[in-house]
Amino acid sequence: MKAEIFPKKFLWGAAVAANQLEGAWQAGGKGVSQDDVVPFIELTSATDIPDFDQRATLLAGLHDLQGNYPKRWGIDFYHTYKTDIQLLKELGLNSFRTSIAWTRIFSNGDEAQANEAGLQFYDDLFDELLANDIEPIITISHYEMPMKLVLEYGGWHNRQVINFFEKFVTAIFQRYRDKVKYWITFNQINSGLTDAYLSLGLIKAEHPDIEQVKFQSLHHQLVANAKAIEIGKKVNPNFMIGSMNYEMTAYPQTPQSEDVLACLDNDDAQLYLSDVMVFGEYSTYIKRYFAEHEIQLEILPEDLLLLKENRIDFLAFSYYLTTVRNQQMPNILDEITWNMSEESRNPYLETSEWGWQIDPVGLRIVLRKLASRYRNLPLVIAENGLGYRDEFVNGGVQDNYRIAYHREHLRQIAEAIQDGAKVIGYQPWSGIDIISAGTSEMEKRYGFIYVDQDNAGGGTKQRFKKKSFYWYQGVIASNGQQLE
């Protein structure tokens, strides 16, 4: 790549989440979160993702202090962040996406006062990032809400949770008003369509009307997103506040018109939440869906005004794969599961061990689609990466496969920028190896930095630079011009 294509102030970074790397689950007054009760489970198939939909399962995890709960220890970033940030600085990052653990600030979620020890931890973390010229990009809610709000309040189905979230965002906006510019309210907000527990704090078995309940819960998150923007802009008008989708564009299985239409429906369904956050109102498509499926949302008149007046400044999204759809497959709005069927596989694409298909050109397609739909709204690729069972040999990892993955995706980003997409940042998942969100395993690795730790938390915890570390270092130093 000869001509400089990526913008001068492009946000070159890496993305992680508090619940997957911090550990120290009981330190500094932290409360128990959703992820603290999710154990490691040896899966019979690498493509399966556990579904925690029974109260008894969650209560058992809550009281089990001896089991294998990897997110309780993460990679101990809570204690190692200073040395880890030095590695990120050496990597060349000018930005770093992480999240604030709600349970460090309000341990149960319904307290009157914020926890000073938790606030101080993030003060120290952000100070360390800024001292090393790394811009924090902070996710406010990343699959991490206080367990009390799940068990006693019913998660996001309870409108009262909006008030608790409002108190949370007010505390962190005021505390970090001069340290954090970029905020993402909800990680992959549309994952609430498929993940009731982690995204919405719902215990699925307790809701025979789960479809109705999930849409009401998502409405509450949309209101909470708008309230966060309203509060944030009063605290600091220079805040850039966005939200985030997961992107899973679908291709028609055949040229039949009905299969093409199924893919258009998939786009409108996947993007209905970001449509609200960008345009300030529910789309005609989703209104028709609600009417035809007898989904009746409780929407207050003030909700509609709030949504209209408080819209996002940028859209972040994760991109890992694409799928194939036909007219017989259920609409994503009808589902409440993460796992993909064999029928959705594309025979022309390579597939990872976890069933995720590798499609760099698909990222260009997504960027063009979003640029067209949202009219020059700034876009941040907030997650993109390859999970792999890296082999640590002779003190290193020769992860040429990861280099190839990111190289090809960056080439397509460059093409999309030339197509007119306003891409302002690339935050590959995960910079450093961390616990997997879906499977709670350590050995599904994404980072440019290897962490000597296994699925049971054993190992030296020592950090090592992979071959991809030096490659990405060169990419950043050349502002995307050197991809070889």
pLDDT tens digits along 179-189: 999 999 999 99
24 pLDDT higher than 90? yes
Mean pLDDT of 202-220: 96
Q: Identify the three-state secondary structure at position 38.
A: coil
Mean pLDDT of 236-258: 97
Beta bridge partners of 138: 98, 183
Find tokens 């909470």 and name the residue.
224
pLDDT for 406: 99
- d(CA 134, CA 129) in angstroms, rounded, equals 5
Q: Identify the three-state secondary structure at position 272.
A: helix
Q: What confidence tens digit (pLDDT) does each residue in 341-366 have?
A: 677 899 999 998 888 899 999 999 99
Please indicate, yes or no, whether the overall pTM of this predicted structure exceeds 0.85: yes
Q: What percent of the chain has pLDDT over 90?
A: 90
Q: How confident is the model at residue 90 (pLDDT cuts 50, 70, 90)?
A: very high
337 pLDDT higher than 80? no
340 pLDDT higher than 80? no
Mean pLDDT of 266-280: 98
For 15, phi and psi rounded to 5 degrees? -120, 140
Q: How confident is the model at residue 46 (pLDDT cuts 50, 70, 90)?
A: low
Mean pLDDT of 252-266: 97
Mean pLDDT of 241-255: 97
Q: How confident is the model at residue 45 (pLDDT cuts 50, 70, 90)?
A: low
Evaluated on CA atoms 435, 437, 443, 447, the torsion sign reads: negative
| Average pLDDT across the chain, whole number | 95
Least confident of 237-251, 325-339, 408-422, 448-462: 325-339
pLDDT for 47: 59
Q: How confident is the model at residue 96 (pLDDT cuts 50, 70, 90)?
A: very high
- d(CA 117, CA 166) in angstroms, rounded, equals 20
1 pLDDT higher than 60? no
- d(CA 7, CA 414) in angstroms, rounded, equals 10
Least confident of 59-63, 116-120, 179-183: 59-63
Q: How confident is the model at residue 42 (pLDDT cuts 50, 70, 90)?
A: confident
Of the candidates 364, 367, 343, 345, the residue with the CA atom closest to the CA atom of residue 354? 345
pLDDT for 224: 99
Q: What percent of the chain has pLDDT over 70?
A: 96
Least confident of 38-42, 69-73, 101-105: 38-42
pLDDT for 338: 60
Which CATH code is given to the segment(s) 11-477? Answer: 3.20.20.80
pLDDT for 53: 79
